[in-house]
């Protein structure tokens, strides 16, 4: 069952450290979306990428956050100099084709905890 794979499932960092979250989309999917979920809240869009391109990063904080989806390998969401407010569940979704009528398939997320 080659669904969307995210790792690690849980990540603990101290304030000021860097966090790297990985997402491997479903086979045949070339579109990746990252969402952040705070406790008791819905998912908030962060960034949309295709291979080697950032298509929409309107939901990404301007500082400390970056994302990439290289030609080879998983998509990476990188958070530099983490702060307590970065604690959340980060979900990745993938879809095969551009457009809202193509369902997004979600991974099981990375739970990031900042000490």
Partner 1 sequence: QQQVKQSPQSLIVQKGGISIINCAYENTAFDYFPWYQQFPGKGPALLIAIRPDVSEKKEGRFTISFNKSAKQFSLHIMDSQPGDSATYFCAASINANAGKSTFGDGTTLTVKP
Site residues for partner 1 per CB under 8 A = 4, 6, 31, 33, 35, 40-45, 48, 55-56, 59, 91, 93, 95, 98-109
Shortest distance, position 74 Cβ to partner 1, whole Å: 16
Q: Which is nearer to partner 1, 85 or 99 (CB)?
A: 99
Measured between alpha carbons, how far is residue 4 from residues 20, 39, 60 in Å? 17, 22, 21
Find the Cα–Cα–Cα–Cα dihedral 4, 5, 10, 15, rounded to 10°: -90
The secondary structure of residue 112, as a DSSP letter, is E
Shortest distance, position 104 Cβ to partner 1, whole Å: 6
Shortest distance, position 64 Cβ to partner 1, whole Å: 21
Q: Which is nearer to partner 1, 66 or 106 (CB)?
A: 106
């Amino acid at each position: 069952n080659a669904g969307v794979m995210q790792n690690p499932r849980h990540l603990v960092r101290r304030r000021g450290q860097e966090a790297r979250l990985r997402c491997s989309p479903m086979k045949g999917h070339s579109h990746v979306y990252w969402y952040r979920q705070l406790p008791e809240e819905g998912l908030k869009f962060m960034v949309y990428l295709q291979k080697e391109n950032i298509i929409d990063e309107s939901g990404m904080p301007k500082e400390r956050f970056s994302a990439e989806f290289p030609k080879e390998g998983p998509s990476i969401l990188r958070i530099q100099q983490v702060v307590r407010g970065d604690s959340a569940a980060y979900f990745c979704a993938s879809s095969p084709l551009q457009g809202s009528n193509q369902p997004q398939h979600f991974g099981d997320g990375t739970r990031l905890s900042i000490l």
